[in-house]
Structure 1
Amino acid sequence: MKLYQGAIRTTHFAISFLFAFCILTGVGQAAEKADEKKEEKTISEIASNSDRHDGLFTLYTDRKDGSLYMMVSPEQLDREYIYFAHTTDGPVEAGHFRGAYIGNSVFSLKRHFNRVEFVEENTSFYIDPDSPLSRSADANISHAVLAVQDIIASDKNSGNILIKLDDVLLKENLLQIKPTPDPDAKPKDGFALGNLSEKRNKITKVRNYPANVAVNAEYVYENPAPVVYGGEDITDSRFVSIEVQHTFIAMPNNDFEPRTDDHRVGYFMSRVTDLTTHESAPYRDLITRWHLVKKDPSAALSDPVEPITFWIENTTPLEFRDLVRDAALAWNPAFEKAGFKNAVAVKVQPDDADWDAGDIRYNVLRWTTSPNPPFGGYGPSFINPRTGQIMGADIMLEFSFFTNRLRTRAALQEIAGQRHEPTGNQAARFCSLGNGLQLSNMFGQQMLNAAGADSALAQQLVHDSMYYLILHEIGHTLGLNHNMRATQTIDRPFDAERVAAVGLAGSVMDYPAVNVAPPGTPQTLFYATSPGAYDDWAIEFGYSPALADAAAERARLEAILERSTDPALAFGNDADDMRSPGKAIDPRVNIYDLSSDAINYATNRLGHADTMLDSMLARYTAPGETWQSLHDGFLVLMAEYARSAGVISRYVGGVYIDRTPAGLGSQDKPYTPVSYDDQKRAMAVLNERIFAPGAVPVTNELISHLQQQRRSFDFYSVTEDPKVHEWTLAMQKGVLDHLLHPVTMKRITDSRLYGNRYDLATFMDDLNDAMFAADAGGNINTQRQNLQLEYVNRLAAMVKGDKKSAYDYPSQSMALLHLERIRQQLRKRGRLNAETQAHNQHIRYVIE
């Protein structure tokens, strides 16, 4: 019976299994048929429920859910396009700001069976097409598959295919948007974006034109429990939005001729390395420049077929518009030397314009007023990386930098010599001129007020600074990078005839010191108001039309470049400048300097700052006003002390560079150390004006009035008392950062082999005297105590460093020698007050 029941159960199970199998098979077959039906969906079916956008690529926006589709024709596959991206809005703390250019590359669309790949092409190398090596042109060079999308519909007759574009754009596929975090940073160190949302991102705008398509996307980054909430420009740090415009551009099909870069002149460039040449410097780098063509090629001076046209955005304050226009047009005389008249044109965007600044067909001078501005001016451009042709440009101008709103943090960083600016590839296009101009203008305004100057000079200061900023940023959009050596070409900056004859600087692409005349001296220009000799020469090199014969063209360009030996055409870019401790070697290439004797100019500037400190309290005492302006004015003066000290300090251990090719010019050596006399002179000024007791003559009465205006509970986590000891030491530390930098000290020793007479022993004797000689026999004030202990701690760290120390042995030995001398000197001191005794005991503790 049990066997019978078991057989029945087995039979029942088998029948049930077979029935279920049949059902599942039927369901599976039905699903397969449904899939087949789904795969057979046509483009027209999707298009019927969508809004169509005609242009470079035909786009469709689904009317129900907003999905964005892109149609690709067979002719558009395996063809190169230019990709360009910029931030349309985003908080600065998140690493973004309106107008920031964040992506520029070449990509192609490739079909692989039932999918389409977005592939970024590598444009960094050249291989001679006539060389047999060209057959292995892609060897060991990686391209990047940025995104892959399934084909969701097709048209059998045309061969067109359809992909879902928002799946490409609403993730960080085409470029990285969230900045890479510092691996050494802790969560509490600063604001950080959360993770990219899965549901909150969206397409916000679609614009399509025959030669480009632009799609704006909003990215939302989520962090449910942020550690740092960010500033007031971040509404809710749990959900932070960044909007980016992605633009696909048709590869230009024109007669633009690439021009190769040369190290003697400064253009932005598209880097290209020749893999088939035998040259020791296998560079075929292409300068970035606009496509200018003469209307009349036979004329020595001709209008262009199409000028470089800038539009003044309708957000521009009315009172600035004429100035903006005039500054932009001031570049036209430089182009005349290249054979073009009216090369630059300026128009004003109508208030009822049907386009905005995001339309890349227009080059726009834009204005913003931001809560946390990252710049005063910013002039980027985007290019065809294959040729260097500039395709478009914008200039961002920040209104807040022409107001008295001091960014206290920036001022304190300037006092400490801490300029946190990008490095690597980003550094080449980074521009912080506007930041510096604001502090310079505030200092200049103080000098004018102290001298009792009339309002016309104050207006000229604002005019000259804005004019210079626009000249500078326009220069960037023309392809020029910084020339940080240009402000040393003028020998008499307060001689009106001399300034009228040669200008205030060789180039408007430098970061100059504000040229405020000392009391009793007539004012010339505060800043250069026209492109300089270097700018004219650079434009001639970059934009003068090429000759048809290749050999003749090479000779023509070389003849232009050979003029680089003219001192007025001196050039050094950001990589050459000595703005930061341990960076670069030539003190003539620097920021915030002026005149051919920068040591003397900066020394006089320190004297002017002293004079202003004497009268500062009286100048800022106004009935009914708080002391905020006095507090800010004091920080501005301290920042100017730090700037001037930084300029002077770089001559210690400096080496002049001459990049003239062999056989040309003066035949100077490529490297010539700064003279013994100038290094001694620089150290003497630093001793007297920065390190000596009372070097910064701040009265107790002034200090007691340095009060910030209270705002709500902003003092909750900080104390508001004036921290003059801290500020003074920060300035002094900024100078020591250079003088005692391992790179500087090594160079002092190395450069003895090729002419440096200011050896390490002499330098350390002078520095040690600056620290201790002035008060060796008596009591030491608290500011000097701070400085001396800072110095001794640095020497001790040099000696006690591990085997991986960055200091060479001669530097460590010299540090040990002077620690011993300091220890012996402390034994000789007589009766001292308790503060000095405690200080001396502290020094002994550090040394022993």
Structure 2
Amino acid sequence: MNLSTITPNHKITRLFLMACILGGMSLPSQASQRTSVAAEDGIFTFWKKKKTETESDTTKGKDKDSKLKKYDEIITSDAITKKGVIDIHRVKKDYYFEISDSLLNRDFLLVNKISKVPSEVNELGFNKGINYQNLLIRFEVDTLTEKIWVKTYHPYYEGKAGDAITQSVEDNYMPSIRECFGLACFGKDSTTYVFKVNKVFDGSEKSLNDLFGILGMPGAAVKDLSKINEVKSFQKNLVVKSLLTTKAEGITVTVEVTSNMVLLAEKAMKPRFADRRIGYFTTKHFYYSDDQQAVENREFVNRWRLEPKSEDVEKYLAGELVEPKKPIVYYIDPSTPPQWRQAIKDGITDWQSAFEKAGFKNAIIAKDAPTDDPDFDGDDVRYSMITYAASNQANAMGPSVVDPRSGEIIEADVIWWHNVMTALHSWIRIQTGVIDPKARDNKFSDEHMAHAIRFVSSHEIGHTLGLMHNMGASAAFPVDSLRSRSFTNKMGGTAPSIMDYARFNYVAQPNDEVVNITPQIGVYDKYAIAWAYRWIQEDTPWDEVKVLSQMIRKHENDPLYHYGPQQDGKNTIDPSAQSEDLGDNSMKASRYGLANLKRIVPEVEKWTCEEGESYGKAGKMMMGVIGQWFTYANHVVANVGGVYLDQPVFGENKSAYVHVEKAKQKDAVKYLIDEVINIPQWIANAEIYKKSYPIKESVIGDIEYAPTTLFRDLHARIFYSLLEKDRLLRMQQNEAENGDNAYTLTEMMSDLHQGIFSKTIKNQKLDVFTRQSQKNFVDVLIISQNKTLEKTSKKSLQNQEAACCPLHQHMPLLCDYGVKSRALFHDHEQDDVSSRYANRNLFYATMNRVSDDVSVKRGELLRIKELLLKKVKIADEATRFHYQDLILRIEEALHTY
């Protein structure tokens, strides 16, 4: 679920915005957005703040020889003027900005948003409210050449005042000229400058608005099919609305966009240094000084500016709750169906209790967007909006616009796709239908759905407050405690953080009488908000570090306050920080979950079918059940070769790496053999398959999957995951550290052999599913061994860029509300994006050809061959042919004819 930052760099943004949206995720959970500013804009009083403009380039040069026209010749009586931070004049078809010299070299944040889209773009997941490009710009006047320069700045580099190296910082991080305008005339009193701006808003130039390039669409805007629609100017910002059209491959696409130009405060907010023990989106910053022996790399927490009013400072410091100078206000889109508005508002105001822990009351407010104010515009960055999108997307996201000089969130949005309710419905029915009769119908009551909407609202608002996913939160609750009515009522929901993907309580059993089964804002969330938003009177962020660290140290050994970052879905290392899991033991939780799934399968027809309708809904629900079954399997797999990760600092009695206990790893393999590899009849041959195969919805229509085909593919995925090289190398590291106390490669292979070939060992006839399982296992052994022996491929610059460039680390991530069947189909884009949220890059892979996994895989293939040679004369013909085939495959792979 996400959060996230959009970088000003077009190339980077294009790559990752498409990865996020086309992957069906979280534009970026994460959810802040990045811009750029000059290195010379110091933030702290003792850091140098030096003006770069020269007198000759700005206020001088208004000489008598200028051939510029007079003001009245440009801004004629036909002009329609909007007064504001920058006056905007419309003279027939031309648009002019008039900027005061007091605003030259001031920081403006340019924020480009989508306002309206055609169906072709809607289907790609681009909708109203999405912020696709941010730039931090400054205007400079060059009267000698009679031009207005627009420069972009990167704010991430700063030199200490008075130090020699500061000049080098200015020289090595200079601003770039992004656009220029011809100076049309001076203002009436010669303190303002007038210039024509049509070209950057009507599609002629893409320097300040690269819509189609960023969205990955071929071609640029067609000027004759594009235009400026509307302009507005206010005290601190201006708004320009445009229609931009492109043509490509016979398709014409027109998108309405809104460009905001916001004047930022002269003095940026005091930043707060991030700490990896608590999960916030961040903005990078690099400090240079003469006394360093290494550049100081820092990350600023992305957060709103909450400060007590001057008259309330003493009360605040004395521990009294006070109202902030400026509360955080969210407006509900008028397009939101009336029955959901209060639930969304409640999800917002539920965070008030968290802000009270930071010392503020009424800090976060929800309002209906006014419908009678002509100046109100949901795409105006003065307003944070919950934007409701009519779309088939089953998702939501919560990005923010951030001042990169300090990490201050200046505006936030939640994009709420209408179809997210289909995902909620699927989850709730499959995960809680057994224990809650209200969750069994094809359509829930408004009250029941509103309860789930409130949870999604709170989660997405959490992202807009700066919070990242905390996938480690759910591991703080013992599995059996989730079956306790008193425990769940006391703790609230399924995890101590709503920023986990803890979903709904699938552990509770029918007779447990647990009713508090929905994720809620918890202990960790309140602690995290208090840590980031507590107003501290210290002068600099360095002065705050000790205070903030003490806040964390108070809870260093309490699992309720633990932060476990989101991991790469293809290579989960820490099984305690997984998406969509519950409790502190994956095997125990999954066995409870399976018990409920077994109860559901016989009820699928009854719960879904209606008189005169097809069995399509039953097929889709069954695919959801299989998706949940497979999700449990993936949770269990992560324990094999798993490592619990932490972020200890000096003085804490913690380990950074602790291998999962041997007994747990062995139990994980047993679970996989019993419940996944040897496919249970309750899911392999369900009665409902006589009426409908499992059905997956897709853009080309519903796809019905034959169970044998579906389970064959799922088996392959489990085996590839189990034998993945990094997992096996982690197991070798465990053996090197812990010897006999480690679950070794040879032990795992022996356990798998005994489980997969148990019927073969007993000389029994094999059914179709068992034959498929054995073939998959042998095939994966052969292929993964061959890949291990291949030479390492050369990495491309593009791949390295994503790993190394700091701008890539906080792209917006869509929260994943896809229905459960999505887990059955590999999604490379999803995994690539989610991997950027793992703040650990543990490297195990090395000379793969000389690692033990090659020996173990070959040894297992030889053991299988030896077994099959003994059993190949079995009477059952299908089984005999199967053995003969496997023997030939192994001999060919090992060249042992």
TM-score range, shorter chain: 0.7 to 0.9
CA shift, 1:155, in A, is: 4.7
Q: 2-side partners of 1:339 and 1:51: how far apart?
A: 47
Deviation by residue 1:603-630 (Cα, 9 ceiling, x = unmatched)? 2112221222233234444321211111
Aligned to 1:19: none
Q: Which of 740, 748, 759 is the equivalent residue of 2:731?
A: 748
Instruction: Tell me if 1:496 matches 2:485.
Output: yes
Aligned to 1:267: 280
Residue type of the alignment partner of 1:87:
I
Instruction: Tell me if 1:462 matches 2:453.
Output: no
Aligned to 1:647: 635
Q: Which of 739, 756, 765 is the equivalent residue of 1:771?
A: 756
Q: Which of 313, 323, 339 is the equivalent residue of 1:303?
A: 323
Residue type of the alignment partner of 2:882:
H
Q: 2-side partners of 1:532 and 1:249: how far apart?
A: 35
Matched-pair identity in %: 22
Query: Where does 1:660-671 land on structure 2 (aligned, <5 Å)?
Result: 660-664=648-652, 667-671=653-657
Deviation by residue 1:310-363 (Cα, 9 ceiling, x = unmatched)? 222222222222222222111111111111111112222234343131122222
Q: 2-side partners of 1:346 and 1:700: how far apart?
A: 47
Cα 1:442–1:737 shift into 2, 3 Å: farther
Q: Which of 31, 54, 75 is the equivalent residue of 1:47?
A: 75
Q: 1-side partners of 2:89 and 2:878: how far apart?
A: 78
Q: 1-side partners of 2:765 and 2:368: how far apart?
A: 66
Cα 1:582–1:707 shift into 2, 3 Å: closer
Would you say the 8 A contact 2:501–2:580 is kept in 1?
yes
Instruction: Tell me if 1:331 matches 2:351.
Output: yes
Would you say the 8 A contact 1:366–1:397 is kept in 2?
yes
Q: Which of 126, 133, 138 is the equivalent residue of 1:96?
A: 126
Q: 2-side partners of 1:265 and 1:321: how far apart?
A: 31
Residue type of the alignment partner of 1:569:
Y
Q: Secondary structure at the match of 2:404?
A: coil
Aligned to 1:288: 302
Residue type of the alignment partner of 1:306:
K
Aligned to 1:509: 499
Aligned to 2:397: 378
Residue type of the alignment partner of 2:778:
V
Q: Which of 677, 680, 683 is the equivalent residue of 1:691?
A: 677
Query: Where does 1:681-760 land on structure 2 (aligned, <5 Å)?
Result: 681-694=667-680, 697-699=683-685, 701-706=687-692, 721-755=704-738, 757-760=742-745
Q: Secondary structure at the match of 1:483?
A: coil
Query: Where does 1:470-549 land on structure 2 (aligned, <5 Å)?
Result: 470-491=457-478, 492-504=481-493, 505-516=495-506, 517-529=508-520, 531-548=521-538
Would you say the 8 A contact 1:39–1:153 is kept in 2?
no
| TM-score normalized with structure 1 length | 0.81
Q: 1-side partners of 2:459 and 2:253: how far apart?
A: 33
CA shift, 1:181, in A, is: 9.3
Would you say the 8 A contact 1:67–1:164 is kept in 2?
yes
Would you say the 8 A contact 2:111–2:260 is kept in 1?
yes
Q: Secondary structure at the match of 1:677?
A: helix
Cα 1:239–1:657 shift into 2, 3 Å: same
Residue type of the alignment partner of 1:81:
F
Instruction: Tell me if 1:392 matches 2:411.
Output: yes
Q: 1-side partners of 2:432 and 2:867: how far apart?
A: 46
Query: Where does 1:408-487 land on structure 2 (aligned, <5 Å)?
Result: 437-444=424-431, 446-447=433-434, 462-487=449-474
Aligned to 1:624: 612
Q: 2-side partners of 1:461 and 1:757: how far apart?
A: 47
Aligned to 1:413: none
Residue type of the alignment partner of 2:745:
L
Cα 1:734–1:60 shift into 2, 3 Å: farther
Q: Which of 741, 746, 753 is the equivalent residue of 1:761?
A: 746
Q: Secondary structure at the match of 1:256?
A: coil
CA shift, 1:720, in A, is: 5.7
Q: Which of 100, 114, 132 is the equivalent residue of 2:164?
A: 132
Q: 1-side partners of 2:876 and 2:750: how far apart?
A: 27
Cα 1:558–1:445 shift into 2, 3 Å: closer
Q: Which of 251, 256, 264 is the equivalent residue of 2:269?
A: 256
Instruction: Tell me if 1:107 matches 2:137.
Output: yes
Q: Secondary structure at the match of 2:212?
A: coil
Q: 2-side partners of 1:47 and 1:121: how far apart?
A: 31
Aligned to 1:211: 236
Question: After alignment, is 766-775 or 471-480 more displaced?
Answer: 766-775
Aligned to 1:30: none
Instruction: Tell me if 1:367 matches 2:388.
Output: yes
Residue type of the alignment partner of 1:289:
R
Give me the CA root mean square deviation.
3.2
Would you say the 8 A contact 1:439–1:636 is kept in 2?
yes
Q: 1-side partners of 2:113 and 2:126: how far apart?
A: 9
Aligned to 1:29: none
Aligned to 2:206: 172
CA shift, 1:708, in A, is: 9.0
Would you say the 8 A contact 2:113–2:133 is kept in 1?
yes
Cα 1:340–1:223 shift into 2, 3 Å: same
Aligned to 2:864: 822
Cα 1:41–1:557 shift into 2, 3 Å: same
Question: After alignment, is 205-214 or 450-459 more displaced?
Answer: 450-459
Aligned to 2:59: none
Residue type of the alignment partner of 1:536:
K
CA shift, 1:47, in A, is: 2.2
Q: 2-side partners of 1:438 and 1:710: how far apart?
A: 15
Would you say the 8 A contact 2:609–2:617 is kept in 1?
no
Q: 1-side partners of 2:696 and 2:153: how far apart?
A: 55
Higher Rg of the two aligned structures: 1
Deviation by residue 1:457-480 (Cα, 9 ceiling, x = unmatched)? 977753442121111111112121
Would you say the 8 A contact 2:89–2:95 is kept in 1?
yes
Residue type of the alignment partner of 2:80:
D
CA shift, 1:672, in A, is: 0.7
Q: 1-side partners of 2:779 and 2:98: how far apart?
A: 67
Aligned to 1:559: 550
Would you say the 8 A contact 1:631–1:706 is kept in 2?
yes
Residue type of the alignment partner of 2:490:
A
Q: Secondary structure at the match of 1:272?
A: strand
Q: 2-side partners of 1:42 and 1:374: how far apart?
A: 56
Q: 2-side partners of 1:757 and 1:47: how far apart?
A: 80
Cα 1:194–1:82 shift into 2, 3 Å: closer
Residue type of the alignment partner of 2:565:
N
Q: 2-side partners of 1:549 and 1:819: how far apart?
A: 66
Q: Secondary structure at the match of 1:350?
A: coil
CA shift, 1:92, in A, is: 4.4
Aligned to 1:348: 368
Q: 1-side partners of 2:641 and 2:102: how far apart?
A: 61
Q: Secondary structure at the match of 2:314?
A: coil
CA shift, 1:175, in A, is: 5.0
Deviation by residue 1:477-516 (Cα, 9 ceiling, x = unmatched)? 2121111111122221121221232233111111113114
Deviation by residue 1:534-578 (Cα, 9 ceiling, x = unmatched)? 11111111111112465864432221121341211000222xx25
Q: Secondary structure at the match of 1:844?
A: helix
Cα 1:699–1:618 shift into 2, 3 Å: farther
Alignment size in residue pairs: 746
Instruction: Tell me if 1:846 matches 2:829.
Output: no
Residue type of the alignment partner of 1:538:
A
Question: After alignment, is 699-708 or 761-770 more displaced?
Answer: 699-708
| TM-score normalized with structure 2 length | 0.77
Cα 1:42–1:804 shift into 2, 3 Å: same
Q: Which of 777, 785, 788 is the equivalent residue of 2:774?
A: 788
CA shift, 1:637, in A, is: 0.5
Would you say the 8 A contact 1:450–1:615 is kept in 2?
no
Runs of 5+ unmatched residues, structure 2? 1-63, 794-844, 893-897
Runs of 5+ unmatched residues, structure 1? 1-35, 183-191, 226-237, 404-434
